[in-house]
């Protein structure tokens, strides 16, 4: 793989890591909003799941950033994005007492969030397929998740 391609993969990994590093840290620091969404989706143990989601996001985000186990982490994040998009962003939002105009805006934003999650899933599948590139821990370890051709 060319130096340019490896640099592009590094930039892509950096950009793809930010959302989960920041989101994971936020969930661990204050899980209340996430726990509320989990409760609203009808899932049990909302606070525990919020902490688990935060830990998962932080650890996988850091793994993408440094290029560690990218094939496995890429697939895990793709599945996570599809799951969270379908479960938390596919329906309409109804907040009692809110004006219709505000609910319309919130539902549009929710649809955008679902599309964002599915788009990110595609990016993580591509990353899992291509590998971490030469500028990664996987490459330093001689891991199979680095594509060299």
Among the listed ranges 24-33, 39-48, 86-95, which one has the minimum average pLDDT value?
86-95
Helical spans, DSSP H, in 67-144: 70-89, 100-130, 137-141
Place of tokens 């793989």: 1
Mean pLDDT rounded to a whole number for the chain: 92
Average pLDDT on 47-62 reads 98
Q: What is the domain partition of the chain in residue ranges?
A: 3-141
Q: Which residues are within 8 A (CB) of 49 and not within 5 positions of it... i.e. 6 or more apart?
A: 35, 38, 43
| Top-confidence residue, 26 or 90 | 26
pLDDT of residue 147: 53
Residue range 11-36, pLDDT digits in tens: 999 999 999 999 999 999 999 999 99
Average pLDDT on 97-120 reads 90
Place of tokens 């821990």: 137
pLDDT of residue 103: 83
Average pLDDT on 99-119 reads 91
Burial of 124 (0-12, 13-18, 19+ CB in 10 A): buried
- Give backbone dihedrals phi and psi of 49, rounded to 5 degrees, phi first: -65, -35
Q: What CA dihedral angle connects 25, 28, 34 and 35, to 10 degrees? A: 170
């Amino acid at each position: 793989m060319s130096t340019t391609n490896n640099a592009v993969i590094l930039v892509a990994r950096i950009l793809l890591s930010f959302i989960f590093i920041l989101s994971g840290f936020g969930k661990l620091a204050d899980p209340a909003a996430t726990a509320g969404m989990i409760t609203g989706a009808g899932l049990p143990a909302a606070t525990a799941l919020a902490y688990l989601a935060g830990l998962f996001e932080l650890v996988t985000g850091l793994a993408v950033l440094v290029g560690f186990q990218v094939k496995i982490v890429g697939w895990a994040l793709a599945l996570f994005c599809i799951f969270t998009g379908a479960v938390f962003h596919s329906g309409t939002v109804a907040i009692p007492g809110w004006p219709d105009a505000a609910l319309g805006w919130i539902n549009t934003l929710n649809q955008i969030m679902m599309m964002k999650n599915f788009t990110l899933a595609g990016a993580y599948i591509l990353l899992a397929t291509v590998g971490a590139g030469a500028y990664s821990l996987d490459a330093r370890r001689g891991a199979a998740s680095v594509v060299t051709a």
